[in-house]
Amino acid sequence: MSNEKKRSWAEPYKIKMVEPVKMTTPEERQKAIREAGYNTFLLRSEDVYIDLLTDSGTSAMSDRQWAGMMLGDEAYAGSRNFYHLEDAVREYYGYKHIVPTHQGRAAEHIISQLMIEEGDFVPGNMYFTTTKLHQELAGGTFVDVIIDEAHDPESEHPFKADIDLSKLENLIKEKGADKIPYVSIATTVNMAGGQPISLGNLKEVRKLTQKYNIPIVHDMTRVAENAYFIKQREPGYENKSIKEIVKEICSLTDSATMSSKKDALVNIGGFLALNDDELFDKARNMVVIYEGLHTYGGMAGRDMEALAIGISESVDYDHIRARVGQVQYLGEKLLEMGIPIVKPIGSHGIFLNAKKILPQLSQDQLPAQSLSAALYLDSGVRAMERGVVSAGRNPDTGEHNYPKLELVRLTIPRRVYTQAHMDVVAESVEAVYNNAKEIKGLKFVYEPEYLRFFQSRFEVL
Ligand code: P71
């Protein structure tokens, strides 16, 4: 055992195809970020050296998945790939029915429209941007019932995505169970820093919601990563497989929305999974309006095949250990350098604490947006703002929402970058950190109505 610790260890794959990336000069980067209105979403990807904007749709597919792409059955109705996908969802996740969608937010749209009524409240373990917006568009109000530790970047709580049961029960008592169409549970919680929920907590939530007859809708976008943390940290699960843990999580929920672009290792796709026959019928009816027939829902047959294979690969222990391990490697390196990041290190990325790195900027001066622009300028590394810009405005008052967390996310695509890339990223973050006093704030010069972080433009203050 002690010998095993000292031995080096590498990714459980080798590289068969490469995609060159462009190195840019500081002058080129200055021009590119200015033209992008200091918004990393508006950069052209060819001007990016290491792209850590997101882990969404950016995975490298395996040779098995590429082989599956050649087996696409592009029939309009009843494609065999749909049935493979349905089998995979039943086998690995245990849900009874599946409605394919083009990506996660489309599944959120359908379930929100079907279950939420004007004036409803939807409690959840922290918000996600698209999830919350669809709840609001359906007439609901999102209520955060995550434990307080989740909002504290210094807290080392091992399960920061846990629900605060008294917050949840108080809400049910205050509003009435009939005003709560479902509880929204994400595995893992993206905006908290890729933090997991424990099975112990989920079981308690299940008990409480059953008492009031409230269903649970599971955002299972990164469920395998959550399962890996449960195996690592939760007593009683150390000898269970990732597949078993994933299935147990799903068994405690009623429906699920999935963005397959993350855990499930494909570049596009998603689905809604349901156990309730009546709800499935309604969802199947609605998908034909917005996405496509219920046996493709906006996905090509080949993409459904790649997804069915990706689901099986996502629960492989060696895969998930390497994936989360690479994120931990970068995080530990940054911690050694003294950089303030969200702790514990999450599963899909490192979240830099922009409030701490740029104490000279107020939240109105958009510290996380400024920091992500500065990082791109230093090295061509692209990160994503996850602070006041992402939090948007309060629909009633029109004021900015001011989240406690003002973060820059360095998100690691799956099976794409090497350890050397991680070293380059860490050195760039260190250089920016050492020069942080010089970084100026930003102000909005253009702000769209919905999901403003995608398309807003800024100027240096
Ligand atoms: C991520 C994304 C993609 C994204 C979406 C919105 C703003 C910025 C980036 C997407 C998620 C997600 C969770 C937990 C639902 C979706 C939507 N994440 N739930 O992290 O993380 O899925 O993108 O397939 O529509 O970069 P979709």
User: Rounded to the nearest 5 degrees, what angle is found at the Cα of 407, between the Cα atoms of 402 and 412?
Assistant: 145
The CB of 261 under 6 Å from ligand 1? The reply is: yes
d(CA 250, CA 263): 15
The CB of 103 under 6 Å from ligand 1? The reply is: yes
Give the number of other Cβ atoms within 10 Å of residue 288's Cβ.
12
Helix spans in 76-222 (H): 80-88, 104-115, 129-137, 165-175, 199-211
User: What pLDDT shows up at residue 9?
Assistant: 80
Q: Which atom of ligand 1 is nearest to the CA of 261?
A: 24
User: What pLDDT shows up at residue 5?
Assistant: 67
d(CA 38, CA 282): 43
Per cent of the chain over pLDDT 90 is 96
Query: What average pLDDT does the structure give for the chain?
Result: 97
**Distance spanning both ends of the chain, measured CA to CA:** 55
The CB of 188 under 6 Å from ligand 1? The reply is: no
pLDDT in tens, 4-46: 567 878 899 999 999 999 999 999 999 999 999 999 999 999 9
Q: Of 39, 108, 111, 130, which is best to mutate to test ligand 1, by the most ligand atoms within 8 angstroms of its C-beta? A: 130
Residue 182 · residue 216 · CB < 8 Å = yes
Q: How confident is the model at residue 2 (pLDDT cuts 50, 70, 90)?
A: very low
pLDDT in tens, 396-422: 899 999 999 899 999 999 999 999 999
Ligand 1, atom 21, lies closest to the CA of 190
Residue 369: pLDDT over 60: yes
Residue 305 · residue 296 · CB < 8 Å = no
Q: Which of 292, 263, 229 is nearest to 75 (CA)?
A: 292
Residue 156: pLDDT over 80: yes
Helix (H, G, I), strand (E, B) or coil at 218: strand
- 337 conformational bin, left if phi > 0, alpha if psi -120 to 50, beta if neither: alpha
Residue 449: pLDDT over 70: yes
Q: How confident is the model at residue 395 (pLDDT cuts 50, 70, 90)?
A: confident
Query: Mean per-residue pLDDT for 448-455?
Result: 94
Q: How many C-alpha atoms does 28 have within 13 Å on its Cβ side?
A: 11
Residue 446: pLDDT over 80: yes
**Token pair for residue 131?**
């999830």
β-bridge mates for residue 184, sequence order: 124, 217
C-alpha 104 to ligand 1 mean position (Å): 7
Q: Phi/psi at 166 (nearest 5 deg)?
A: -75, -35
Residue 455 · residue 41 · CB < 8 Å = yes
Ligand 1, atom 18, lies closest to the CA of 56
Query: Mean per-residue pLDDT for 128-141?
Result: 96
d(CA 28, CA 268): 31
C-alpha 105 to ligand 1 mean position (Å): 7
Residue 272 · residue 105 · CB < 8 Å = no
The CB of 129 under 6 Å from ligand 1? The reply is: yes
C-alpha 56 to ligand 1 mean position (Å): 7
User: What pLDDT shows up at residue 355?
Assistant: 96
pLDDT in tens, 246-280: 999 999 999 999 999 999 999 999 999 999 999 99
C-alpha 213 to ligand 1 mean position (Å): 29
C-alpha 54 to ligand 1 mean position (Å): 9
User: What pLDDT shows up at residue 4?
Assistant: 56
Residue 1: pLDDT over 50: no
Helix (H, G, I), strand (E, B) or coil at 257: strand
pLDDT in tens, 72-101: 999 999 999 999 999 999 999 999 999 999
d(CA 435, CA 295): 53
Residue 71: pLDDT over 60: yes
Would you please indicate which residues are annotated as catalytic (active-site) residues? Answer: 76, 128-129, 219, 262, 386, 453
Helix spans in 125-266 (H): 129-137, 165-175, 199-211, 223-233, 242-251
Residue 85 · residue 95 · CB < 8 Å = no
pLDDT in tens, 189-242: 999 999 999 999 999 999 999 999 999 999 999 999 999 999 999 999 999 999
